[in-house]
């Protein structure tokens, strides 16, 4: 009642006072609302291209790329102990905006290398992740959607973004962003330009930077980026590599065998091709500019046309100059040969600025712009195989994959984000969502059955036909081998779940699995449920202990012989009782490591791929080459105290 009394008293005031009071009240209430919204992030993981996106329109984590977040990772997977193990294709990404209000020009920019300043921007919409797996709601665009937004002072616009991904094969290699810009004031904004900016790096896992190149595809009207050969920045001479394919191809695509002799790993760590495109410019012109990416630093001598603007340093007209500059439509190599603009060493650490404009924004009006980041790569089995032939194949196979995915993104946008087909629902969703149970020489894979109530969203009938089970003995993203196709009528149900047992597996080899569904038309769901770390088939416990105890390989000579990623230094103790303690000593009797084994199997390793502690001592340091003594003491009930002493050698 008191509030109503105050409200009635307000209307007894003169008109001017009433307007002032209402404006003050709205300002105070708005300030309270904005004060409750924070800068935040969410990660898109449903497709193959992963990204941590912020309501500030940044990617990854501000100021530092070496973290647990994702900056356009492809194919994406969650990070483990080694946070540099990421196939990311950008080390910084964000946006820039320019416009004129009341005769005055304003500009602002932000990317992953900086924190948003309260002087320039403030959040107005939390970063929110919405899950719409298998397009359960056809009226909601995307299977994973991140929304969020902020306000830009000076120009006085709200910028919000809706970022969308899909898991359907054909549509799982890109992220589509709808960017909405709203004028929050009474004055019209003219000459408005907006752009997305990407500091390209291919890739963090490879450990190299500043050796990228770009190509131009006239048919699709886009620049694409890829890894090439490192060079000495001062004189631009190529860096020489001695091992593996180094003498023939240098570090193009960053083959793993170029860094040390005798390695058995030949995977190409920078095999993907990247592009960003505008799907809807709201009728404005599209500008594509390639500049030098300097991070938080400054240029070391680039020409003006290669220098990116800097927030709080450059004036607004410089922003417009850069945002409306068109890169010559030719590849880096073609530009180098032609002379003039482009083809410089500064563009070998490129930043793509993809802008649209000019636009006009009347008071309180909004415009919607649509961008997409797109990736492509050749068959992952060839990427893992590596070699000169496959390095040369990248230039066509990875590029063609990228361009096909660009066409798919454009098709999906034209079709109002509805795929042309709908595979059955995924059996499970997300990493580690399958139930994996190791047994002697086998792994049992289990998942919930597709419900009888399932209906294809387009056809309105249950066209589910069966499951496909894939295995990789290399890594969580494959390459995959189809090991079973299970028609729905043949599915074995155990304790309410479908179960498949992968038997006759070699001991000591880690395995990754994923399970998809397929329909009567042959359409298959995406691979979204792979295990992040390998599962190993058990060896049966040694009932004859303390006899028949071994270490493999023994001696250890530089490599375990296992081809799985990260398995180079794996050593395994076999012939163990179901429960025991293993102590490793130097020849002088110093304790190196103690391993407690209690999983009921007959084997265990010295460390794990999950912790990246293979052949590490108690202080997490690598051990020296030499001969070591190991002591195994049983803790099995009734066999306590029985022990075995052996030795092994490490040759590096």
Q: What is the pLDDT of residues 591-645, one digit of tens each?
A: 999 999 999 999 999 999 888 889 999 999 999 999 999 999 999 998 998 999 9
pLDDT value of residue 14: 54
pLDDT value of residue 168: 98
Q: In what order do the strands lie in the sheet with 273-280?
A: 121-131, 144-152, 157-165, 174-183, 366-376, 273-280, 222-227, 212-217
pLDDT value of residue 262: 75
Residue 153's alpha-carbon distances to 117, 146, 184, 311, in angstroms, are 11, 23, 10, 14
Residue 591's alpha-carbon distances to 558, 583, 584, 633, in angstroms, are 23, 7, 6, 15
Q: State the residue for tokens 């894939």.
A: 470
pLDDT value of residue 566: 84
Query: What pTM does this model have?
Result: 0.91
- The whole-angstrom separation of Cα 200 and Cα 295 is 11
- The whole-angstrom separation of Cα 93 and Cα 293 is 11
pLDDT value of residue 10: 41
Q: Which residues does residue 585 pair with via DSSP β-bridges, in sequence order?
A: 591, 629
Regions of the chain where pLDDT drops below 50:
1-11, 13, 15, 17-33
Q: What are phi and psi of 302, to 5 degrees?
A: -65, 150
pLDDT value of residue 647: 97
Residues in the chain: 652
- The whole-angstrom separation of Cα 93 and Cα 507 is 44
Report residue 564 as tokens: 């799985």
- The whole-angstrom separation of Cα 329 and Cα 216 is 6
């Amino acid at each position: 009642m008191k509030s109503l009394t105050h409200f009635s008293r307000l209307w007894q005031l003169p008109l001017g006072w009433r307007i002032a009071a209402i404006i003050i009240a709205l300002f105070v209430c708005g300030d309270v609302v904005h004060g409750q919204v924070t800068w935040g992030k969410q990660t898109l993981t449903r497709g193959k291209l992963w990204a941590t996106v912020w309501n500030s329109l940044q990617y990854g984590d501000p100021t530092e790329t070496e973290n647990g977040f994702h900056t356009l990772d492809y194919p994406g997977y969650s990070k483990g102990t080694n946070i540099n193990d990421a196939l990311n294709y950008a080390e910084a990404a964000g946006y820039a905006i320019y416009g004129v209000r009341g005769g005055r020009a304003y500009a602002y920019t932000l990317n992953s290398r900086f924190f948003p300043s309260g002087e320039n921007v403030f959040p107005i919409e939390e970063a929110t992740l919405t899950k719409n797996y298998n397009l359960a709601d056809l009226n909601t665009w995307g299977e994973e959607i991140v929304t969020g937004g902020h306000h830009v002072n000076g120009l006085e616009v709200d910028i919000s973004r809706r970022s969308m991904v899909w898991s359907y094969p054909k549509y799982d290699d890109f992220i589509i962003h709808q960017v909405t810009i709203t004028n929050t004031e009474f004055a019209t904004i003219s000459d408005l330009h907006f752009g997305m900016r990407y500091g390209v790096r291919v890739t963090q896992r490879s450990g190299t930077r500043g050796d990228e190149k770009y190509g131009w595809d006239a048919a699709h009207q886009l620049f694409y980026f890829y890894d090439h050969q490192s060079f000495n920045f001062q004189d631009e001479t190529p860096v020489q590599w001695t091992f593996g394919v180094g003498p023939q191809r240098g570090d193009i695509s960053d083959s793993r065998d170029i860094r040390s002799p005798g390695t058995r790993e030949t995977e190409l760590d920078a095999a993907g091709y990247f592009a960003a495109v505008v799907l809807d410019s709201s009728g404005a012109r599209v500008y594509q500019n390639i500049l030098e990416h300097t991070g938080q630093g400054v240029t070391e001598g680039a020409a003006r046309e290669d220098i990116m603007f800097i927030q709080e340093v450059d004036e607004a007209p410089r922003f417009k100059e850069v945002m409306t500059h068109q890169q010559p439509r030719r590849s880096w190599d073609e530009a180098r040969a032609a002379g003039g603009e482009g083809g410089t060493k500064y563009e070998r650490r490129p930043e793509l600025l993809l802008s649209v404009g000019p636009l006009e924004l009347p008071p309180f009006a909004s415009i919607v712009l649509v961008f997409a980041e797109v990736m492509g790569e050749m068959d992952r089995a060839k990427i893992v195989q590596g070699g000169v032939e496959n390095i040369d194949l990248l230039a066509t196979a990875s590029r063609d994959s990228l361009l096909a995915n660009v066409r798919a993104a454009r098709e999906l946008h034209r079709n109002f984000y509805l795929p042309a087909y709908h595979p059955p629902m995924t059996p499970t969703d997300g990493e580690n969502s399958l139930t994996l149970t190791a047994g002697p020489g086998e792994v049992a894979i289990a998942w919930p059955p597709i419900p009888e109530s399932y209906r294809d969203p387009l056809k309105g009938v249950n066209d589910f036909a069966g499951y496909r089970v894939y295995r990789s003995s290399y890594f969580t993203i494959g390459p995959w081998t189809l090991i079973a196709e299970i028609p729905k009528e043949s599915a074995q149900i155990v304790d309410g779940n479908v179960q498949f047992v992968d038997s006759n597996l070699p001991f000591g080899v880690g395995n990754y699995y994923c399970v998809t569904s397929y329909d009567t038309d042959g359409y298959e769901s995406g691979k979204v449920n792979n295990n992040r770390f390998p599962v190993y088939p058990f060896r049966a416990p040694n009932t004859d202990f303390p006899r028949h105890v071994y270490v493999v390989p023994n001696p250890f000579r530089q490599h375990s012989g296992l081809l799985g990623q990260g398995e180079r230094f794996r050593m395994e103790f076999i012939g163990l009782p179901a429960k025991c303690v293993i102590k490793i000593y130097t020849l002088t009797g110093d304790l190196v490591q103690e391993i407690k084994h209690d999983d009921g199997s007959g084997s265990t390793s010295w460390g794990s791929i999950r912790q990246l502690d293979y052949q590490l001592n108690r202080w997490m340091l690598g051990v020296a080459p030499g001969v070591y003594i190991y002591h195994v003491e049983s803790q099995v009930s009734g066999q306590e105290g029985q022990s075995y002493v052996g030795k092994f050698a490490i040759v590096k």
